[in-house]
């Protein structure tokens, strides 16, 4: 059975800004991880990023934690949000328009904490982010850009989903770069 889509992009001013937003804490207070949209069985239902309703960590969260562990970080300590606050299910064509409609929410969430590093999860998230921000970021390449009158480091990585067979190995190589290691350890 397919879930019904949920759209918040038509009236973003009515959206509760703390929904689908997890602030960073401890060592992860300076990092915001950004996904594309809420997963059907993730925090859309559980209210907790990377966890299901039985409080079991999802496979993508486990793989991301494997990358972050060396730096004293985890999906629980880093900030997290989605570009699109809408649940689009299998309707991938709706992702850009939903993200565009939710862009103002994302920018407001950026200002909730003093983030320095934004990690973008996956090629699709990067593609949408580049269009909305008028940037030309590349997977694995650390860049600086100004959003909301503040300069951020931006790091697009491959999505940590197990569906992406080479993503973990490629992300591991990205996290081995000295400048990235330094930023991740700043906590």
In the three-class reduction of DSSP (H, G, I as helix; E, B as strand; rest coil), residue 53 is classed as coil
Exposure string (b/e) for 137-169, b if CB count within 10 Å is 16 or more? bebbebeeeebeeeebbbbbbbbbbeebeebbe
Residue for token pair 């067979």: 165
The pLDDT score that the predictor gives to residue 167 is: 87
The pLDDT score that the predictor gives to residue 174 is: 95
Q: What is the pLDDT of residues 142-166, one digit of tens each?
A: 999 999 999 999 999 999 988 888 8
The pLDDT score that the predictor gives to residue 104 is: 95
In the three-class reduction of DSSP (H, G, I as helix; E, B as strand; rest coil), residue 81 is classed as strand
Domain-by-domain residue ranges, the chain? 18-184
Taking residues 68-86, report their average pLDDT: 95
With contact defined as beta carbons under 8 Å apart, do 118 and 152 qualify? yes
Q: Which CATH number fits domain 18-184: 3.40.50.300, 3.90.580.10, 3.40.470.10, 3.40.50.720?
A: 3.40.470.10
Taking residues 84-98, report their average pLDDT: 90
């Amino acid at each position: 059975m397919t879930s019904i889509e949920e759209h918040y992009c038509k009236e973003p001013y009515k959206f509760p800004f703390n929904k689908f937003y997890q602030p960073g804490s401890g060592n992860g207070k300076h990092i915001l991880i950004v996904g594309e949209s809420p997963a059907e069985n993730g925090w859309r239902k559980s209210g907790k990023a990377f966890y299901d309703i039985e409080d079991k960590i999802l496979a993508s969260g486990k793989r991301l934690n494997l990358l972050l562990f060396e730096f004293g970080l985890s999906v629980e300590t880093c900030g997290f949000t989605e570009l699109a606050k809408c649940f689009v299910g299998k309707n991938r064509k709706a992702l850009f328009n939903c993200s565009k409609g939710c862009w103002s929410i994302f920018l407001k969430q950026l200002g909730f904490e003093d983030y320095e590093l934004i990690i973008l999860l996956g090629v699709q998230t990067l593609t949408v982010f580049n269009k909305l921000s008028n940037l030309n970021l590349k997977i694995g390449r650390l860049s600086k850009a100004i959003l909301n009158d503040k300069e951020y480091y931006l790091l697009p990585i491959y999505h940590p989903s197990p569906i992406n067979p080479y993503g973990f190995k490629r992300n591991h190589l990205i996290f081995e770069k000295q400048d990235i290691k330094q930023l991740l350890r700043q906590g």
